[in-house]
A and B are shown apart, each in its own frame.
Chain A
């Protein structure tokens, strides 16, 4: 097998894997939101650990969404993985995430009298809606392009 084909096949595999992973991650983020509300906010050590783990997870997913992932691959391969069509899909996905963030913020603001949410819970909800929808859309667009 030539180097050209093996490079291209490797890029293809990584792009396919990312396209399969991202919608699942988006759904996981949204489903995980229900678990967060079921457990509620506490001031025990385990609750601090849970919030810390959530922040780390959010930062990792945000990094995956904005950089395209494949951090341990060569610069040439990363450029092929995160090429023009991937960047176009990301722009559309970030636009979806922005709209979902604004809509969730408006809903939280309008419903503030009816729902008794803490500041932490509202932030959790807004971040999850924005990032979850963006990651989910990015994954769907990538899957569509793979055919």
Chain B
């Protein structure tokens, strides 16, 4: 039987050392200013950094390079029991980081001209109905000169309804560094997730030469970090936080951060799961 029938079963699994840990470390990207989310897909030092996804229909990520990856344990399940993060930064901005399961990436999207851009994203490898799956844009090549405005004007929702169209969203500033994130892209009323994206529409072009990836992710959990330099934070399960954050087989875990003021932030830490 997968999972834990009782609290005692869970504690026994811990006593039996059914525990897996992965460490990670990476440096963020400076230059986008306070506010935007910033990704660590290509700036991790440990594990090996990821690379830009393929162009349409893109790349589906399963235990992929660039992510924090655990062994598959089927039929047993994996749950986060401890997350430990330390960070170093040159300022005292408050920071929030989130860990997401990176599911699909579609590279080479050009925002320098208006109109529809073909995405036709490949099938989701996990969370396959799209419930709770978010679409974000990830700057792969810096060089924008105008804050682009985009919308997801044709996508398939969590109920497998296609040709859905969400509202528009704009980058916060004209220039965006690589790894800056914009999202989640707005959904059509009534939708709760994204199964695939067919086209995005650029209504205000970025100018310059920037390219972006469209990524589909499932957020897993977050950490808040106090605005004092060089601090540590941790969260644990099942106490005090009972929320059972499950890592699916194949999960490709990526870190994103609420950016602080133009300074590079370095993170190090570890994720520990219990399997049973």
B is bound to A: no
Chain B interface residues (CB < 8 Å from chain A): none
Chain A interface residues (CB < 8 Å from chain B): none
